[in-house]
Amino acid sequence: MGSSLSFFKKFLGDSAAEAAQVTGVSVSQGRVTRRSSGLQEFVRALGKEEGLRILDLGPTSPTNIARLTEQGHKVYNEDVLLASMDPAFQGQAEDGKAIVSPEKFLAENLRHERNKFDGVLCWDVPDYLSESLVKPMVERLHTITKPGGVLLAFFHTRDAGPEAPYYRYHMVGNEALELQKGPRFRLQRVFNNRHIENLFKDFSSLKFFLAKDNVREVLVVR
């Protein structure tokens, strides 16, 4: 635990690291509101049924928790990107290069029973996540999401640029999000539509929405 905390302090700063490790909360740098057609479709797909299980893969958002629990749902949160930075998950590829070990990471994260979740808020985690974890994470999400369950993901376009900031997403309406700058994670890759389709090839369907801020929103059905 001590070595992990030292790493997060170096990466985020003392106070932010301690808060992030405990709650997933990142340093606030102001918020921007944007409309999200993908979120609107995600909420619509959930319908009016109460008691659904929703998994949020971003930093903890009290706004999201409050909104979803007010609708009668149960919310689970795992800050996957921050967790992946833990040195305890380091491993080696076949060529000897250092990578984040999918086996080590998934032994400690996203450990849920099969077909548990009705909805997953994936946000733009795949764009920032270590290459070695992207496909294994999506495969795990397929396993723990119910057939017919929905997943919302965001993907940057090439126009976003490598310095595109990492945001925390706060649901402030059925089709509105507040974006709050988070830790200085670097954009790792840009997926084109074919890459996204291949990434979610085991799911039943995908629907794309092109936003105005260099982000594609994708609603995926298990």
- pLDDT 10s digits, 130-175: 999 999 999 999 999 999 999 999 999 987 777 889 999 999 999 9
- The residue behind tokens 């298990």 is 222
Give pLDDT, residue 200. Answer: 98
Where are the alpha helices (H) located in the chain, listed in sequence order? 2-12, 14-23, 37-46, 62-70, 80-84, 102-108, 125-128, 131-144, 193-199
Percent of the chain with pLDDT over 70: 87
- pLDDT 10s digits, 166-208: 999 999 999 999 999 988 899 999 999 999 999 999 999 999 9
Buried b (16+ CB within 10 A) or exposed e, 71-100: bebebbbbbbbbbbbbeebeeeeeeeeebb
Give the separation between CA 86 and CA 20, rounded to whole angstroms: 12
Q: Domains of the chain (ranges plus CATH)? A: 25-221 (3.40.50.150)
Give pLDDT, residue 8. Answer: 43
Instruction: With cut-offs at 50, 70 and 90, classify the pLDDT of residue 79.
Output: very high
**Taking the model in full, what pTM does it have?**
0.84
